[in-house]
Amino acid sequence: MLKEALQNKLDYEELANCMRCGFCQPACPTFRETGYEAASPRGRIALMKAVTDGVMEPDQDFVDQMNLCLGCRACEPVCPAGVPYGQLIEQTREAIEQVQEHPWYVRLVRKTAFTHLFPHQRRLNRLGGLLGFYQRSGLQTAVRKLGMMKILPKQLQEMEAIMPDASAKSLTDRLGATVIPAVGERKRRVGMFHGCIMDVLFQETNVNTVRLLAESGCEVVIATGQVCCGALHAHSGERETAKSLARQNIAAFQKAEVDLIISNAGGCGALLQEYDHLLHDDPEWQEQAKWFAGRVKDISEVLAMSVQPEAWNALPQRVTYQSSCHLRNGMKVTKEPVNLLQAIPGATYVPLKEGDRCCGSAGIYNLVQPEMSGSLLDEKMGHVASTQADILVTSNPGCLLQMKAGIKRAGLEDRMEAVHLVDLLARVQKKEAN
């Protein structure tokens, strides 16, 4: 059954485009960790092709290797044939989910998260309210003192320890409006994609994003009707749900009549920018998807166009940067975040060794593949510590949580903090410029 599902889902022409050159192997985190050919992009593509050609039957080892992939797409920029590996691994995972029988508790968790929670922002905000009550009521303190967290797996304990303050309010509740005027002359009208998790756990970052955009001359629209981007669904084999979410987002932002659609999360932005591919087989939405995908920009791209260091306070600290995989490999944004950091008066920018290598977060990878994720994180924190930086900056919520967990895990809490790029720029913005 899985063989037939793969034959129906996989783009065989792209599979055949792989030249087997091996340029992808040094860029692949799982290959570097294991040394196994099957754990490299070239090896996984070979397995996919062998199954579609009828040369082998896909077994549990096949499934395990597909699931071990981080989906970081570091192989794509170095591939001379331009093979879209990220699309192939998503197609493969969709085929696997189509036929795989999960235990009842896994089915329950997946159904709850992917169907009943992430697609519904109001439900997420209610969950944020409950989490916020847990954090602020004293329950969290009591649970920790009683040692009740020890019943959870280690990776969940680490995540709980660094969880940001949750919010029950929506971004529009915080801002008090759906349209925020530009400060001074209006240069463009942009739509703010607030995300699902971002709106609950990183709402201050969203507020700062809107403020920085307005100060750069943007009229900012919080498009009503927008929902989860669908990235977690697409990466986990739930592509049909991802397509449904894409259609809702396209309709919401088309109605808002914006020039650009701004994301402050690399993982979200990469999929938003590929809605045209996601809906390539839907003739009713092809043109709308192209319209949408062509307008998606990362916040750093917009801010870099209108950077004004004279409006920033000095920051006499050492700063380093961990790149978001999907921002770099998906959206192809590499220079703008670094340029912004280097423009901060008084700051000393310190390059991070292998700062372009995955930190091991990769959506929910750190929860479902904790051993590999932990190994990547430990190596990463060794490089981070060697920078002697005061501030570790990143541009994606998953990466930010992973970096916070890594700092705590490495015992660097008294020396360093992890901060989203937007929050750091908001921190140095002079009050009189607000």
Instruction: Name the β-bridge partners of 392.
Output: 320, 418
DSSP character for 312? B
Taking the C-alpha atoms of residue 232 and residue 124, their distance in angstroms, rounded to an integer, is 15
Per-residue pLDDT at 310: 84
The whole-number average pLDDT for the span 60-65 is: 94
Tokens of 51: 């199954």
CA–CA gap between residue 119 and residue 227 (Å, rounded):
6
Residue 343 predicted with pLDDT over 50:
yes
Among 156-170, 225-239, 382-396, top mean pLDDT goes to 382-396
Write out pLDDT tens, residues 83-133: 999 999 999 999 999 888 888 878 888 888 888 888 888 898 888 888 888
Alpha carbon distances (Å) from 414 to 158, 332, 388, 389, 408: 17, 34, 12, 12, 9
Where along the chain do the CATH 1.10.1060.10 domains lie? 2-99
The answer, yes or no, to whether residue 350 has pLDDT greater than 50, is yes
Do residues 296 and 282 touch, judged by C-beta distance below 8 A? no
Nearest to 289, CA basis, from 319, 259, 248, 320: 248
Cβ neighbours for 171, distance < 8 A, ≥ 6 positions apart: 192, 194, 199, 203, 206, 207, 210, 222
Contact 275, 390 (CB under 8 A): no
pLDDT digits (tens, 9 = 90+) for 17-40: 999 999 999 999 999 999 999 999
Lowest mean pLDDT among 2-11, 130-139, 147-156, 206-215: 147-156
| Residue 231 vs residues 32, 39, 326: alpha-carbon distances, Å | 25, 23, 11
Kindly report which listed range (186-190, 195-199, 226-230) carries the lowest average pLDDT score: 195-199
> Residue 77's CB: how many other CB atoms inside 10 A?
15
Q: What share of the chain is helix, strand, coil (3-state, %, to 5)?
A: 55, 10, 35
- How many angstroms separate the Cα of 265 from the Cα of each of 102, 271, 396? 30, 10, 4
Q: In b/e form, how buried is each residue of 376-400, taking b as 16+ CB within 10 angstroms? A: bbebbbeebbebebbbbbbbbbbbb
pLDDT of residue 246: 97
Rounded to 5°, angle at Cα 205 from 199 and 210: 90
Q: Which CATH class is domain 2-99?
A: mainly alpha
The boundaries of every CATH 3.40.50 domain in the chain are: 310-433
Q: What is the token pair recorded at 392? A: 């570790």
Query: Which numeric CATH code is attached to 310-433?
Result: 3.40.50
Q: Is the dihedral of CA 99, 101, 106, 109 positive or negative?
A: positive
Which stretch of DSSP H or E encloses residue 398? helix 397-409
pLDDT at 434: 44
Helical segments of 260-396, H only: 266-272, 275-278, 286-293, 299-305, 325, 335-342, 365-368, 370-387
Q: What is the pLDDT of residues 136-159, one digit of tens each?
A: 888 888 888 888 878 877 777 877
Q: What is the reported pLDDT for 95?
A: 93
Note the pLDDT tens digit of each residue in 249-296.
Answer: 999 999 999 999 999 999 999 999 999 999 999 999 999 999 999 999
Give the separation between CA 60 and CA 223, rounded to whole angstroms. 43
Tokens of 284: 């009713």
The mean pLDDT value of the chain amounts to: 92
Count Cβ neighbours within 10 Å for each residue of 212-232 and write b for 16 or more, e otherwise. Answer: bbbbbbbbbbbbeebbbbbbb
Distant-in-sequence, close-in-space partners of 125: CB < 8 Å, separation ≥ 6? 167, 168, 169, 170, 199, 200
pLDDT exceeds cutoff 50 at 433: no
Average pLDDT over residues 161-190: 90
Answer whether 160's CB lies under 8 Å from 141's CB: no
Here the tokens at position 306 are 């209108």
Q: Are 41 and 28 contacting, i.e. CB atoms less than 8 angstroms apart? A: yes
Tell me how far CA of residue 21 lies from CA of 17, 103, 252, in angstroms: 11, 39, 43
Reported as a single tens digit per residue, the pLDDT across 363-419 is 888 888 989 999 999 999 999 999 999 999 999 999 999 999 999 999 999 999 999
